[in-house]
Amino acid sequence: MIPLVLYVLLASAMFTIGLYGLLTQRNGIKLMMCVEILLNSANINLVAFSAYLPNVNGQVFALFSIALAAAEAGVGFAILIVLYRLYGTIELDNINALRW
């Protein structure tokens, strides 16, 4: 059995990667991807602890989270498509009509 600490390390690594991407990238799609990575790092944690305890609640929770992420991705990409049609770009720095 793979020790729990490795899962936690993997989840931490993914979280950090996702956070880094979120802070540094300006491309809308990349940001969506980073958000997905963040969510999945949390899912890994949930599933790992669920198997370790053992308690199935964590896996149920992870499934909900995946469904939610799918819905979120659908809405997010729809917004990005509309933005692209309006501005011809999805570089978020250029989309600043409401900014001072």
**Residues engaged in binding other proteins (CB under 8 A):** 19, 22-24, 26, 92-93, 96, 98-100
How many other CB atoms sit within 10 Å of the CB of residue 32?
A: 18
Closer Cβ to other proteins, 1 or 98, answer by number: 98
Q: Would you say 62 and 47 are in contact if contact means Cβ atoms under 8 Å apart?
A: yes
What one-character-per-residue DSSP string does 47-90 give? HHHHHHTT-THHHHHHHHHHHHHHHHHHHHHHHHHHHHHHHS--
Q: In angstroms, what is the minimal distance from the CB of 94 to other proteins?
A: 12
Q: In angstroms, what is the minimal distance from the CB of 55 to other proteins?
A: 26
Closer Cβ to other proteins, 34 or 46, answer by number: 34
Q: In angstroms, what is the minimal distance from the CB of 48 to other proteins?
A: 21
